[in-house]
Each structure stands twice: as C-alpha cells, then as structure tokens.
A and B are shown apart, each in its own frame.
Chain A
Amino acid sequence: MKFDTELVMLLGVLLIGGIVIFIVAFVLKYRRSQIEFVHERELLQRKFNEDVLQARIEISEQTLKRVSMEIHDNVCQSLTVARIQMNLLSPENLEEMKRSGSELIGRSLNDLRNIAHSMNGNFLNENGFKEAIERELKLVCMAGDMQYHSTWKSDMSNHFKEIEVILFRCVQEALNNCLKHSKATKILFSYRELNDILVLEVSDNGIGISNESITGLGLKNMRDRLELLKGEFILEKLEPTGTKMVLKVPKNEMIKKEFL
C-alpha cells in the first residue's frame, strides 16, 4: 500500500523542521543556563574573595590580640618589676639591683623583639604556609605552656595563596581554641594529601569540647569557609580526653575550576 506522497513530504518537513526547532531551543536554553552559571560563579567568586579578605583581617586581629597579651603579661610585668627595683635603689644594694634591672630590661627587650617579629602580618605570604603554621604552633604553645608535634607528609607548595590564607586562618582558630579552652598540655598537628584531598588535623589532649563550643561562631566560620572551598570540617572527641579537628579540602585543580 502506497501513501499519499504529499502527506509523507509534509511529514518530512515536520520532522526536519522539528529537529531544527529542537536544536535552536536547545541552544537558547543552554545559553540561558550558561548565563546563570556565570552569574552563580561570579557570586561565588565574590563570596570567596570576601572570605579571604575577612580571614586576612582575622589573622591580623589575632596577631594584635596576641601582641597586646604579650606586652601586658611579659613586657609590662618585667618593666614594672624593674621600676620597683629602681625605686628601692640604695647604696647597699646598688650592684645587685643594677644587675637584676639590666636582666629585666634585657628580657623586656627580647620580648619586644619577639613581638615585633610576630607583628609581621605578611609572614604567611613571605615565608609560606608551612613556616607560618610552625611559627603559630610555637607561639601558641609558648603562650599556653604546651608541647607540640607537627607532621608534614607532603609539601604545601604550588597552592594558591588565597586558599592558604583560609586554611591558615582555620588552623589558627583551632590552635586558639586549644589555647583558650582545652587546658591541654600537648598539641599534634598533621598535614597530608590523600588522593586529591588535603587533610589537616589539629588534636590536643585537653578536656574535650563542650556542646556550647560546638555551636560557637569560631567553629561555624571554619565550617563555612571550608564549605566554600568544597571542603569538610570534622570535629571529634578523643578518648579518654581531647579533641581532634580535621579539615579536608579538595586539591588545587578542583578549587581552581570553581574560583580562579
């Protein structure tokens, strides 16, 4: 049985026309979602930049806070004692007071020198992530009279500075929490790469984290920042005592695609 030729031709026109219309519709739809994608990416980029800036500010604030604490607790104490000794100065104890005063002023000078070094807000940029973390560990442990041990299973090289700033700020916050709340005597820090993931761990042997602290602003900021890097923040209570913070972030390639 043969069909009407014109009908089949019409069918052909409809089929080919349908395909063409479909392709045009696809291109338009793709273009619209492309614009949405670019817009979304711009927003994400802006948020990322704001976060990096905020992290830099927080690092500076943290540094200033530590400087003020150091001046108050060490330099001021030493100079006060030196001043008292000056007031108690008499011909009998002249030599002893002179030696002791010189010692106190020398210690103050040393403290001030250390403070001047730690005030360098650009330390991370100039010396790199590893050096900055090591210095932070040293300063925190000195302030809290703690011991620390750090393990680096891979070099934190060829990473974007912006990401280093965010990670550094997260580690700084974690160390600060150890110093302020944990009453720990020992801090362990480790950095390693697992496949395409950077894993940073900060653990202590302190009293453990309370439920109020889990919902605190500091930890929330850390979680938000890591989410922005498509990363993960895990908080664990260690047995018998202590806390472990794990920061996981996809390696550069992945982050680069999203933000840079």
Chain B
Amino acid sequence: MDTDVSVYLIFLSISGLISLALFRYLTIEWKLLSVIIWLTISVELISHLPSRQHEVYSIAYNLYTPITFGLYIWIYHSLFQSRSLKLVTSLMFLLAVAAGLFAPILTNSFQKFPSLSIAFCSLLVCSCSLLYYFQMLQSRVKESLSSLPTFWFNTAVLLYWGVFFYRHGLYQTIVSESPGSTIWLDDLHLWLSLIYYAVLAYVVVLGSGRFSPSNKIHV
C-alpha cells in the first residue's frame, strides 16, 4: 500500500473514531454524516485490501453510491428551512437513490466502478450545497462562519464533490478511461479526500457543541 494511501486511511479512521466518540452528542444531520464516514471507511478498506478483487470493490462502490448520496441529501433536507427546498431535496433524494441503484442494473455494469452515477449524484449534492449557501445568506442571524459546522460541511462538500464530478463526470469519461491516464488527478483526489475527511471530522467536533469556539459574532 502506498504511503499516501496509508496516510489517507489513517486520517479517515481518525475521523471515524472522532465521530464514534461524539456520536451521542450529535444532532441528526451530523449523526448521518458520521454514518457516511463509517461507510466510507468500510468501502475504502475493502478497495485497498491487498487481496482484493476488482469485482468486489466495484460492487462495494455500486452499493455505497446510492446509500451515501442518499444520506448526503438527507443531511441537506434536515438543514434546509424552507418547505420548497425540503421538497426539492426529497426529489433529489429519490433521484440519487434511483441513479445509484438503477444505473448499474440497467447497464449491467455492477463489475464496473460507478463513475457516471457518482458524477450525477455529485452534481445533485453540489446543487444542494449551492442552495444551502443561498439559505445562509438569507438567514437573519449571522453567526461567525468559523464556528458554523454547516459552513465547513457545505464548503467541503462543494469543493470535494465538485472535483469528483470533474474527475468522473468529465475527465475520465470524455478524455480517457484507461488506467494510468489520470494519475495526476488520482493524486490530487487522494490528497483532497484526506483534507475532506479531516474537515468532516472538524465538522463533527463543532457539531457536537462540546469543543466548539464561542458562537458570538466576531466582526
């Protein structure tokens, strides 16, 4: 296993442990986020096992995609305050689960990495993120951004899944599907993942309210 992959897995495991330790203090949205982190740990461990088979890892990802993206959209559903945005996220939830489940069934490609489903679901999640920024601007109470777990979560989601969409939706699909042609993008993605899960751990810590900095407004 490469050193950077090991570092990534260690970071991911630390995030998982933090969310496990703080789980009982979390509100529903951050509990869902913890579940996502644990699911990611499981699927990443499967995909980086030395004896792993390509098929097993692809099937794991095919199952991981609808569940994880469903959970992401569920988080946004609970974060949105307006009824119309809640309705939109409910529809997105159905779309994400349907795309994650039916795309491999229809194309009979359970043995393939679900690039297209992930790219599509990334777009949905990025749309939720943009809508959430809109809600934050509309909100009357303006707390300090640095102490807002929702801001960090939203920013991390937009950046990470934006890059994910580019990697799987654009680059890999329209430029090259052959292994090795996207090494630079894979490296970028690996380091981005490392940062992403570190930020999610920070979100969980802030969301637990136990170690969060003061919520007073700093101007």
Contacts and interface: CB of A to CB of B under 8 A. Distances in A.
B209 interface: no
Chain B interface mostly: helix
A112 to B, nearest CB: 52
A3 B175 contact: yes
26 contacts: A2-B176, A5-B176, A8-B170, A8-B174, A12-B166, A12-B171, A15-B170, A16-B162, A16-B166, A20-B159, A26-B133, A26-B136, A26-B137, A27-B145, A30-B136, A30-B137, A30-B145, A31-B219, A33-B142, A34-B219, A35-B219, A37-B141, A37-B217, A38-B217, A38-B219, A257-B141
B115 to A, nearest CB: 15
A8 to B, nearest CB: 5
A35 B217 CA distance: 9
A19 B162 contact: yes
Interface residues of B, number: 23
B163 interface: yes
Interface in A1-42: 2-3, 5, 8-9, 11-12, 15-16, 19-20, 22-23, 26-27, 29-31, 33-35, 37-38
A1 to B, nearest CB: 8
A26 B133 CA distance: 7
A34 B137 contact: no
B32 to A, nearest CB: 23
Contact of A30 (B140, B142, B163): B142
Interface in B41-84: none
Contacts of B176: 2, 5
A257 B140 CA distance: 11
Interface in B147-203: 155, 158-159, 162-163, 165-166, 170-171, 174-176
B167 to A, nearest CB: 8
A12 B175 CA distance: 12
B40 to A, nearest CB: 21
Nearest to A8: B175
B170 A11 contact: yes
